[in-house]
Amino acid sequence: MARFQGIDFYDLDALFSEEERMVRDTVRDWVEDRLMPVIGEAYHNRRFPTELIPELGELGVFGANLPEQYGCAELNNVAYGIIMQELERGDSGVRSFTSVQGALVMYPIYAFGSEEQRTDWLPKLASGEAIGCFGLTEPDYGSNPAGMITTAKQTSDGWLLNGAKMWITNGSMADVAIIWAQTGEIGDVKGIRGFVVPTDTPGFSAKDQEGKLSLLASDTSELVLQDVEIPDTAVLPGGSEGLKNPLMCLTQARYGISWGVVGAAMACFDEALSYSKERLMFETPIGGKQIQQVRLADMLTGITQGQLLCYRLGRMKDEGTMTPQQVSLAKRANCDMAANVAREARRLLGANGILVEYHSMRHMANLESVYTYEGTHDVHSLILGQTLTGISAF
Ligand code: TGC
Ligand code: FAD
């Protein structure tokens, strides 16, 4: 089979720097050579391909936009986005693993952590020697984390954590968890703080979420914190009070997702286009039928719009002008686009489209999770509605 080229209809390649193109080619080759041969089996067997973690570390994809001083690649945000795109071209679970590690674990330690927390954790997380997870969502507080009931009570020599976190990516594999907990009265958003919790602390446990039909090559777990005692040095001391710190982490992760899902859509488009040229029905390739050409034209249009959105968003992030609301628009639009492209690609493939050796159905199933996590499509609609009208409709 031909190596993946990736559709680039508006020649964005011409706008990327040499370094950005090099990053793309390196990660693209790694995905082609190392991930694609195992991803079907891993998905089918519901396992994250842990054997690839050291290679991902060597590639420098974890926290790739954070400083070299902490063992990171210190790339710009466009290059970081390109990494997400190329990884998700392989599988959303592998991109998710990487985004959680970088945007939701390394970023808060870097942005809100003490120097000791940074030097203790960032180099190990950058190399993949340590794995992290991010616990914000609770069983009854998904879209509305402000209501969380996991508590952190101050003791004479530290903190005592109690509660449960749900749907936590990398939860059972993690060495360290960033746990968000209420230090004041329940409902008082100003009391929410982040804690760096080693997962071998007594009272901390993780259990796999069973019964998933999406993101099968990804660890999703429930965390239970029962009288987990941690020292004062485990609090993330920096940033602001309340929910703003975790929401800032979400902005980083949503930015990466906006790029990532374009990669998944590009993979589905590529598969559908080659299939349309090869599959003969009624004695001609199905790609010669007008219905399939409309389908391909719609897919190409969505992908091209998504690529342009990411490119501009990335340049604004590098200039320091990007807003969380602009990220909401990109996350919302691109997840919707990618889910539609994957579904249409799967349909174009006919019965073969439901097989694991083709990729579109795996992407289609994965993208239902991506559409939901990091703020559902509806939540991002309401964020944009509030931005436009000044009225909260939550
Ligand atoms: P609200 O009053 O709007 O905001 C509180 C303060 O935070 C500021 N802010 C943000 N800052 C940075 N980035 C953002 N995205 C921000 N959104 C808000 C805001 O300006 C305010 O600052 P200040 O200075 O005025 O105090 O907070 P709210 O409680 O009303 O919540 C708003 C809402 C509903 C939009 C928020 O709760 C939300 O986004 N909910 C969705 C929850 C969510 O996305 N959870 C994701 C969990 S992690 C995950 O899914 C990982 S999946 C794996 C993977 O990433 O691959
Ligand atoms: P709910 O909030 O219960 O929403 C249910 C429905 O109601 C949705 O359609 C939603 O759009 C809608 N809705 C909610 N509020 C409103 C409103 N005000 N107006 C109109 N409609 C509304 N969380 C973490 O903290 N860390 C992780 O690593 C993590 N990984 C995840 C991995 C996977 C595979 C999945 C599926 C989820 C993960 N999550 C994680 C949780 C994820 O962020 C939440 O699932 C998401 O925020 C939605 O919360 P919920 O599932 O409780 O849905």
Q: Count how many Cα atoms sit within 13 Å of the Cα of residue 202 in the half-sphere of its side chain.
A: 2
Shortest-distance ligand to the CA of residue 326? 1
Q: Which two tokens stand for residue 298?
A: 């719609």
Rounded Cα–Cα distance for residues 335 and 344 (Å): 14
Fold of 245-389: Butyryl-CoA Dehydrogenase, subunit A; domain 3 (1.20.140)
* Residue list, ligand 2 pocket, CB within 6 Å: 100, 134-137, 142-143, 167-169, 215, 220, 369, 372-374, 376, 378-379, 394
What's domain 12-127's architecture?
A: Orthogonal Bundle (1.10)
Q: Is 239 in the pocket of ligand 1 (CB under 6 A)?
A: no
pLDDT score recorded for residue 239: 82
Q: Is the pLDDT of residue 3 over 80?
A: no
Mean pLDDT of the chain: 97
One-letter identity of residue 243: L
Q: Which two tokens stand for residue 303?
A: 């992908």
**Closest to 303 in 3D by CA, of 272, 348, 326, 349:** 272
Any catalytic annotation for residue 116?
no
Q: Count how many Cα atoms sit within 13 Å of the Cα of residue 99 in the half-sphere of its side chain.
A: 33
Alpha helices in 163-243 (DSSP H): none
Tens digits of residue pLDDT in 128-164: 999 999 999 999 999 999 999 999 999 998 999 999 9
Return the CA Rg of the chain. 21
Q: Count how many Cα atoms sit within 13 Å of the Cα of residue 121 in the half-sphere of its side chain.
A: 30
Span 254-275, mean pLDDT?
A: 98
Report the share of the chain in percent with pLDDT over 90: 97
Distances (CA, A) of 44 to 18, 30, 86, 238: 37, 21, 21, 42
Q: Which two tokens stand for residue 319?
A: 């200039």
Atom of ligand 2 nearest to the CA of 180: 25
CA of 377 to the centre of ligand 2 (A): 10
The DSSP H or E segment spanning 67 is: none
Tens digits of residue pLDDT in 282-326: 999 999 999 999 999 999 999 999 999 999 999 999 999 999 999
CA of 282 to the centre of ligand 2 (A): 45
Span 177-188, mean pLDDT?
A: 95
CA of 389 to the centre of ligand 1 (A): 18
Q: Are 92 and 367 in contact (CB under 8 A)?
A: yes
pLDDT score recorded for residue 2: 64
Which of the 8 DSSP states describes residue 11?
-
Atom of ligand 2 nearest to the CA of 379: 11
Q: Return the residue whose CA atom lies nearest to atom 18 of ligand 2.
A: 394
Q: Are 248 and 111 in contact (CB under 8 A)?
A: yes
Which of the 8 DSSP states describes residue 212?
-
pLDDT score recorded for residue 240: 82
Atom of ligand 1 nearest to the CA of 92: 56
DSSP for 363-390, written as a single string: HHHHHHHHHHSSS-HHHHHHHHHHHHHS
Cα 168–Cα 169–Cα 170 angle in degrees, nearest 5: 115
299: CB partners within 8 A, 6+ apart: 265, 268, 269, 272, 341, 344, 345
DSSP for 71-123, written as a single string: T-----HHHHHHHHHHHHHH-HHHHHHHHIIIIIIIHHHHHHS-HHHHHHHHH
The domain spans of the chain are 12-127, 132-241, 245-389
Tens digits of residue pLDDT in 18-64: 999 999 999 999 999 999 999 999 999 999 999 999 999 999 999 99
**Ligand 1 pocket check: which of 141, 250, 317, 377 to mutate, most ligand atoms within 8 Å of Cβ?**
250
Strand partners, 154: 159
Shortest-distance ligand to the CA of residue 375? 1
Q: Is 316 in the pocket of ligand 1 (CB under 6 A)?
A: no
Domain 132-241: CATH superfamily, name plus number? Butyryl-CoA Dehydrogenase, subunit A, domain 2 (2.40.110.10)
Q: Are 322 and 351 in contact (CB under 8 A)?
A: no
Q: Is 133 in the pocket of ligand 1 (CB under 6 A)?
A: no
CA of 244 to the centre of ligand 1 (A): 7
Q: Are 167 and 212 in contact (CB under 8 A)?
A: no
Span 325-336, mean pLDDT?
A: 98
Q: Are 104 and 178 in contact (CB under 8 A)?
A: yes
Q: Are 102 and 66 in contact (CB under 8 A)?
A: yes
Q: How confident is the model at residue 5 (pLDDT cuts 50, 70, 90)?
A: confident
**Closest to 19 in 3D by CA, of 88, 91, 93, 76:** 76
**Residue written as token pair 């003969």:** 280
Rounded Cα–Cα distance for residues 28 and 288 (Å): 30
**Closest to 65 in 3D by CA, of 42, 81, 45:** 81
Span 340-368, mean pLDDT?
A: 98
Q: How confident is the model at residue 1 (pLDDT cuts 50, 70, 90)?
A: low
Q: Return the residue whose CA atom lies nearest to atom 40 of ligand 1.
A: 143
